[in-house]
Structure 1
Amino acid sequence: MNDINADKTIRKVALIAVFTNILLASVKVTVGLVFKSMAVLADGIDTSTDILTSSTMLVATLISRRPPDKEHPYGHHKAENIGAKIISFVIFYAGVSLLVESTKRLITGQYEVLVGFWPLFAAILSVGGKTFLFIIEYTTGKRYKSNSMVAEAKNMRNDIMMSSLVFIGVALNKIGLAWMDPLVGIVMSGIIIKVAWEVFEENTHDLMDGLKDEEMWIYEKVFEACQKCGALNPHKVRVRKVGGKFDIDMDIEVSGEMNVRDAHEITKCIKKHLCETKEIYDVVIHVEPEANDEHEPFGLTKEAFEKGKKEKN
């Protein structure tokens, strides 16, 4: 599917998330205030932050899809990682605020038995709504390799657990265990802070141009393509992510007697083999004469890559 259709789908899902969160937040904050439920109110406040994170996700995905320009020759894909970073800070702030308030209420005894069906209804509605958002955001984010949407989906998964805890806490509160309301708030805050850290850590890795262990197969693909095409001593191989695709730089050696045209054909062959994966953003290959004596400290050689694999295993 082309980038235009991907943009439309991501924008549509992001707008659905914004409006769904507005509805859920309105219901939960209102019910929490009217019925004096700390757990429901906290869940509503958390969903209110989701409105901001969903909006941030929408803006980030729109920016990331812009084509390369003079100031950004590699494109704008890192905007999604920046958006995910912002989301992690918002989630963390909500978690810490909730932890402080819930702990204070539990210690001071500022809780009471809830009345009415509405607190339970708000929790059930939240579980259903958040499950719907998690499914559409996670599947869309994975399909179109949108980091910020996947981060937002993980936040939705977190919200499903929290709303379930709220339901349990409200149910136990209504049978006489009034202290369960702020206690659930404390548990929820721990989950929120944990998810915030996970989102922050994952996107820090991408912004630092690092690759996860499950992405290291691309190096094997590079060395395999070089061997098939007759390139000698592939080295200074460096791979980084641009959006959801791999940007590859490498040096190869060819016979010093080979003419420029034949050497160029080898680079074309390598690019052809690599681009079969459909996950390649760009490939840049520098050609050197065989046994070139030059100090080149960066990137990987095949030997260094194989040694690293053995050490990890």
Structure 2
Amino acid sequence: MTILKGDSPARFGHTELPDEQQAALRKAVKFEWITIGFLAASTVLVFAVLGNSQAMKAAWVEDLLSFLPPISFLLAARVIRRKPSEEHPYGFHRAVGIAHVVAAVALTVMGAYLIVDSGIGLLSAEHPTIGGFDFFGQTIWLGWVMMAAMLLTAGPPIYLGHVKMKLAEKLHDKVLYADADMNKADWMTAAAAAVGVAGIGLGWWWADYAAALIISGSILHDGVRNTRAAVSALMDKRARTYDDEEPHPIGHRLDEYLCGLDWTETAQSRIRDEGHVFHVESFVVPAGGRMPTLEQLEAARKACIQFDWKVQDMVIIPVAELPSEFLPGVTSGGER
């Protein structure tokens, strides 16, 4: 799948990305392909040594689910490059949100299933067994191979997650952030699976199911958290930072600028997060009730767009008073 061709500028719809974001997008695409290649190898490796361990089964399922975020990112990165059309006047940026929802729901469903499956095994006191194999006349316990496989697959995701986390911030990409967050936590899955296998070797049959429950709980936690964030974003929740930790600061910066103009009394914006870019509606109360000229409105709009590459579409609406019913931080009297 080719996302960027030659030296042509990278775009999100009709937004041409700055050089830093173009480089970040190319790097993100490269690292998502690297992630898919690593997952293909690790999934085959873990499947080959699964045995009867429930923890290993849970770790293998998590590896399979880990394909969803990078594939979703690559597909969304291709779709959102399409320019707005008559049928899609806001562009195709919501493809990011759809990809986020699909990946998050899959995580939630599979996490819940694994918890039930592991819980049933624990309550029914099923004793998993791990056999051995012949290696040049010596019988080797398969558990050693399982634990070695987990250790081999634990390291790379930590590095991949660290790199993608930085790229997610630069691109304001929540799918990439969710993928990076999962990668950074993969070492916990590997460690839990290895402990579960070691528990079987020590005769603690319950340790395997306990480890599986820990892994399943981690999958479910990631799924629920990402589902909540993805659904609220599609419902036009107030624009937030890439990690959903706080409202995006661009709104405050725009309002400060608009309030500082000599022809405005006060101003307040509402921002819709379209995926990577923002659609901004700024309501301004003209000073002295005098309507600003078209030149003043256009100059202010262009200045606001220059604040941040994510401000793709912006409208400035003169009003008699700030509409309190849908602007954050505005009282019933229209005051902030």
TM-score band by shorter chain is 0.7 to 0.9
Aligned to 2:58: 42
Q: Hey, what's the Cα distance between the residues in 2 that align with 1:26 and 1:97?
A: 22
Letter of the structure 2 residue corresponding to residue 39 of structure 1: A
1:78-129 deviations in whole A, cap 9, x for unaligned?
A: 1111111111111112212211221222223323353332111111122113
Query: Partner amino acid for 2:104?
Result: S
2:236 counterpart of 1:220? no
Of stretches 39-48 and 99-108 in structure 1, the one that deviates more from structure 2 is 99-108
Counterparts of residues 37-186 of structure 1 (less than 5 Å): 37-114=53-130, 115-116=141-142, 117-186=144-213
Q: Is the Cα contact below 8 Å between 2:267 and 2:322 reproduced in 1?
A: no
Rounded to whole Å, the distance in 2 between the matches of 1:102 and 1:287 is 60
Are the counterparts in 2 of residues 40 and 122 from structure 1 also a CA contact under 8 Å? no
SS in 2 for 1:304: coil
Displacement of 1:144 in angstroms is: 1.7
Q: CA deviation at 1:7?
A: 4.1
TM-score where L is the length of structure 1: 0.83
Residues 130 and 5 (structure 1), Cα distance of their counterparts in 2 relative to 1, 3 Å cut? closer
Q: Work out which of the residue numbers 253, 273, 295 in structure 2 matches 1:264.
A: 295
Question: 29, 36, 41: which one pairs with 1:23?
Answer: 41
Identity value in percent: 20
Deviations 1:220-251 (A, max 9, x none): 32332123212334457322223333322123
After superposition, the Cα gap between the structure-2 partners of 1:207 and 1:139, relative to the gap in structure 1 and judged at 3 Å, is: same
Look up the equivalent residue of 1:71 and give its one-letter code: E
Q: CA RMSD in A?
A: 3.0
Q: TM-score, normalised by structure 2?
A: 0.78
- Secondary structure at the residue paired with 2:90? coil
Distance 2:170 2:251 in 1: 23
Greater Cα shift, 160-169 or 233-242: 233-242
* Residue pair 2:268, 2:322 contacting (<8 A) in 1 also: no
Q: Distance in 1 between matches of 2:121 and 2:110?
A: 17
CA distance in 1, matches of 2:101, 2:114: 20
More deviation in 263-272 or 41-50? 263-272
CA contact (8 A) 1:37 1:119 kept: no
2:220 aligned to 178, 184, 193, which one?
193
Residue identity opposite 1:218 in structure 2: I
* Unaligned residue ranges in structure 1 (runs of 5+): none
Does the 8 Å contact 1:235/1:300 carry over to 2? no
More helix by share: 1
Q: Helix, strand or coil: the match of 1:283? A: strand
Contact 1:239 1:247 in 2 (8 A): yes
Other structure's SS at 1:66 match: coil
